[in-house]
Amino acid sequence: MCGACCQLGYRCIYLTDLNTCKIHDRNDWIRPKQCMLFPIDEQDLLEMNNPKCGYFFKIKKPPLSVDKGSL
């Protein structure tokens, strides 16, 4: 809810001077398509460079390796 993602590449037309969304303020259930798609991957969050952002991806753990000699 910081508005940083609304300024990636261009400033969203729905973003107010206070970095709040004009659409979210009126209708929680209506969101522009780019808002529904953000973030696509971890790179989107890195480009934003905002540690306060509430979006995150779970850390992927590598699969456990099995020593086939012990089976």
pLDDT tens-digit map of 1-34: 677 788 877 888 888 888 888 887 666 667 777 7
- Locate 67 and state its tokens: 């020593």
pLDDT tens-digit map of 49-67: 777 777 777 777 776 766 6
User: So what's the pLDDT on residue 59?
Assistant: 74
Enumerate long-range contacts of 32-41, CB under 8 Å, 24 or more apart: 35/6, 38/5, 39/5
User: So what's the pLDDT on residue 25?
Assistant: 64
